[in-house]
Structure 1
Amino acid sequence: MTTHVQLLRKLFEFIRSERVDEIAKETGFINRNRLMKASDFLSILFHVPGDLASCSIQDLCTKLLTEQDILISRAAVDKK
């Protein structure tokens, strides 16, 4: 298990994924209920190996589909 995954699990031990989604709504990160929740977005960011800047939007979409069974367009991920 990678360090990133371990950190994410520890984070979710202290802050429930539901609370992450609430904070996202309070801060304007999420305005409406969508297919991808803030906790899903946070989770996928922790699964990106190396530098996030070197990861393409298509790679993020593929990871969301394969790891979290979320089919989402590149445009939707790009907006986040």
Structure 2
Amino acid sequence: MTFKTVSRCVELSEIEKNDFNLNISRYVSAAKPEEVIDLVEVNRALAESESDIKKFTDEHNAYLKELGVDLLKSP
């Protein structure tokens, strides 16, 4: 049985190669793999959000203008 971050069976040759050092970190890694981020998708979502913000700010400013109130600055 193997638990990737806890234990694994190793050959004696691997132990010998590590100068018989039985430190666990030489044989297993407790590090979690990094999350892969889809930068194209993140950039698309950001552009969409910025477009939505501009659209809603313009719409909101139309109401403010009718009320005679100072308009919000457009992003």
TM-score, normalised via structure 1 length? 0.20
Higher radius of gyration, 1 or 2: 2
Greater helix percent: which structure? 1
Using the size of structure 2 for normalisation, the TM-score is: 0.21
